[in-house]
Amino acid sequence: MVALRSIAFRLLAACVVSGASSLAYGQTAPVPDAGAQGYPASYFAPFNPVTAEDMVRRTPGFTLSDGQDRRGFAASAGNVLINGERPSSKVLISEQLSRISARDVERIDVIAGGGTADAGGHALIVDVRLRARQKGATNTFVLQAGLLEPGWTVNPIAIASSAFRLGQADVSLSLQAQPARRGRIEYEKVTTDPRGAPREFGPEYLQGTYYEYKLNGRATWRPTPRDTLNASLQVTPTREGRHTYSEVFAPGGARIRIEDSLVRGDPALALEMGGDWEHQLSSRTSIKLLALATQRDKGSDERYTTLPSAGLGRSTFIRRESESGEYIGRAIWAHSPSPGRNLEAGAEVAFNFLESGLDIDVDVGRGRQPTVLPVANTRVEEVRGEVFLTQTSNPTAQLRIEQGVVVETSRITQSGDANQERSFTFVKPRLVATWTPSPREQVRLRLERDVAQLDFNEFASAVSLFDGTVDLGNPNLEPERTWRAQLDWERRFGAKAVLTLSAFYERVEAVQDQIPVRSQFDAPGNLGDGWRAGGRIDALLPLDSVGLPRGELRLRGLAQDTRVDDPLTGQPRRFAGETHWSYSIDLRQPLPNQNLAWGALWERADEVEVFRVREQRSTEWDRGNLDLYVETTAIRGLVIRLTAADILLPEEVRERRFFLPDRSLPSHLSGIETRRAIGGFGTRSYTLRISGRF
């Protein structure tokens, strides 16, 4: 465990180096758009919102995105601004919104084209505008208890948030406590030969345990009319573990073996501290300095034991440890030379590191013996810098254009079991054009180049004895590069109805996936070039005309295809881990005369596949997920919701097709394992949530 004193010193140093000591609101707001749509707080009243997140998720024609988990600040941006800017934190924007009381929201603006570097290149963003706080406090709470099948475990959550004025500063505090999250997963596994004749079968059980606490604080101070200072801190202690047990039987019913495993996680800690300072040089020009630092550490002790019905057993002991951190400094200059035109330029520097250790011992009855795995203990460091320039303008009243370019360079150094240093430089241009021919219609075009970031965990070897897989670390992994084109057409009908149709095409260079190493091992690596193409639909429909007064239906759907050449077969196939289609249908109807509201959510998705040297794996749900809920505001100041989730109790079906010596030919198929699971994500649950203000 890293000492808190050392962490605090590093965080403070990151702030000093970047030239800022606190966090800021009030950066130059996005350029107003003729097609921008604003929703006052009163619009969301029928939905009984408690937090700003509740309101954003009910914004017509908009889908909340938390962005991507990437290193650096700009690359991880979600599609929500607060008071015209992105908060100086990498905590998920949905989580930050959940700490803002709906009572503090004045309105929500939907803006096409982003218009600021904080928008991260999103073609559509929302800006949550907060009321000016004069005095008094806004306090909210959520108390929730969920009952999960199977096992009938109770998972409680408590959240309390308070926003208030302290002297000349606006302060918000939040505490989330999840003292015990327990879940049980029950599996049924069957292994057959290539013709389908059974070889073995048996049940398997997994019992997981987890706790998490989050303490978050933010402060905003405006010492002068031209200066804004903010500061934020989040502390997140967690701990997790699991126990699995399975029995394996022959087709005749005789027990072959017992498999038992126990994972005990260390108490883990994640810290984030950030700050920025914004200074208005004039009514048209501002500068902003930002610093952000995070630190995480975790570890676990694991035991996996196999006890055959005859002969000696085998136990494998694994010790995992990792420590990671990120320190960011960022500077932005914003200028509005004329109405309808914005310029932003800036630079960002970041230092990231991951130090991981993996020790494996095996005991087959003669004592524990160490097992050496390549690239098991390593340290990866990255020094990254970027400069960027963004211009947003309105050439006409109907046309809005955002042009931007980012030049990014990085140096990655790996030491320990593998020693290597590599450098990368990429240019990432972006163009977003928004045409609004009428107040009810809008067309958006986005063209950009995106460069994925390397996952430091893939530089080190990883072992999963639960699935019996080993992934070697690959120090030669390269980032995936994508040229992306997307066209959106949005049409509004009446006060609520919105239809958005999107088409996209992406040309992907150096697709990241699993590659064969020495024809027998798997490792993360790069395939050749590939492509991704498809379409999306997002529709919001009022249901008054079909006999559901004030009711609304929201439909979201995705259909896409992907192609890349497989490194073993040489034949084109889909991207690993991506669905071909998915959709959701969300129905809600408020009944204000009865102080009630009810709703239903149906979700369905295609299977995903994974391709390894000796295995092809597919995972899907055998039926859709159906949630039903009812909520009441009969008790003044409270919103009480009862939810029955996944009431059809869908089973997760995973099929693993094994090949020897590899899957280069279909005739190499050597066996099939089918596992059906209930529990975990997608399990049936019953949840009571009470939220309100105090």
Nearest to 72 by CA among 364, 284, 327: 327
Q: Residue 361, exposed/middle/buried by CB under 10 A (0-12, 13-18, 19+)? A: middle
Contact between 630 and 597 (Cβ < 8 Å): yes
Sign, CA torsion 339/341/346/350: positive
* Cα separation values, 181 from 205, 212, 234, 297, 645, Å: 17, 9, 21, 21, 17
Cα angle 91, 66, 495 (rounded to 5 degrees) comes to: 130
Place of tokens 């408690």: 50
Q: What is the dihedral of CA 29, 35, 40, 41, to 10 degrees?
A: -70
Q: What is the dihedral of CA 77, 78, 81, 87, to 10 degrees?
A: -50
Sign, CA torsion 243/249/253/256: negative
Contact between 79 and 31 (Cβ < 8 Å): no
Nearest to 559 by CA among 575, 580, 538: 580
CB 141: neighbour CB atoms within 10 A? Answer: 17
Instruction: For residue 13, report the phi and psi dihedrals to the nearest 5 degrees.
Output: -65, -40
pLDDT band at 254 (very low <50, low <70, confident <90, very high): very high
pLDDT at 117 over 70: no
pLDDT band at 120 (very low <50, low <70, confident <90, very high): low
For 208, residues 6+ apart whose C-beta sits below 8 A from its C-beta are 181, 182, 183, 184, 185, 240, 241, 242, 680
CB 517: neighbour CB atoms within 10 A? Answer: 15
Q: What is the pTM of this model?
A: 0.85
Q: Mean of the pLDDT values across residues 660-689?
A: 90
Contact between 525 and 479 (Cβ < 8 Å): no
Q: What is the rounded CA–CA span in Å between residue 132 and residue 393?
A: 29
Q: What is the rounded CA–CA span in Å between residue 122 and residue 399?
A: 17
Q: Is 44 helix (H, G, I), strand (E, B) or coil?
A: helix
Q: What is the rounded CA–CA span in Å between residue 344 and residue 114?
A: 12
Q: Mean of the pLDDT values across residues 255-272?
A: 96
Q: Mean of the pLDDT values across residues 540-555?
A: 92
Total residue length of the chain: 694
pLDDT at 404 over 50: yes
pLDDT at 460 over 60: yes
194-239 per-position pLDDT tens digit: 999 999 999 999 998 899 999 999 999 999 999 999 999 999 999 9
Contact between 31 and 400 (Cβ < 8 Å): yes
For 63, residues 6+ apart whose C-beta sits below 8 A from its C-beta are 538, 556
What secondary structure, in 3-state letters, does 626-674 show? EEEEEEECCCCCEEEEEEEECCCCCCEEEEEEEECCCCCCHHHEEEEEE
Q: Which of 33-42, 300-309, 422-431, 469-478 has the weakest average pLDDT?
A: 33-42
Predicted pLDDT at 118: 63
Q: Mean of the pLDDT values across residues 237-246?
A: 94
Predicted pLDDT at 506: 98
pLDDT band at 61 (very low <50, low <70, confident <90, very high): confident
Predicted pLDDT at 49: 86
Instruction: For residue 70, report the phi and psi dihedrals to the nearest 5 degrees.
Output: -130, 160
* Strand ranges (E), 364-496: 368-371, 378-393, 399-416, 420-438, 441-451, 462-464, 469-471, 481-493
Q: Mean of the pLDDT values across residues 270-288?
A: 95
pLDDT at 23 over 70: no
Q: What is the rounded CA–CA span in Å between residue 408 and residue 388?
A: 9
Tokens of residue 651, six digits: 């089973």
385-397 per-position pLDDT tens digit: 999 999 999 999 8
DSSP-derived secondary structure for 269-297: EEEEEEEEEEEESSSSEEEEEEEEEEEEE
Predicted pLDDT at 466: 76
For 394, residues 6+ apart whose C-beta sits below 8 A from its C-beta are 31, 33, 34, 340, 341, 400, 401
Domains contained in the chain, CATH given: 4-693 (2.40.170.20)
Predicted pLDDT at 153: 85
* Strand ranges (E), 74-115: 80-82, 105-112
Tokens of residue 285, six digits: 């020009």
Instruction: For residue 448, report the phi and psi dihedrals to the nearest 5 degrees.
Output: -160, 160
Q: What is the rounded CA–CA span in Å between residue 227 and residue 229?
A: 7
Place of tokens 């500061």: 231
Percent of the chain at pLDDT > 90 equals 66
Q: Where are the alpha helices (DSSP H) in 403-520?
A: none
165-186 per-position pLDDT tens digit: 998 899 999 999 998 777 889 9
Stronger pLDDT, 325 or 467, i.e. the higher one: 325
Nearest to 90 by CA among 293, 393, 307, 364: 293
* Cα separation values, 13 from 8, 22, 71, 231, Å: 9, 13, 19, 15
- For residue 622, the 8-state DSSP code is S
Residue 6 host element (H or E) = helix 4-18
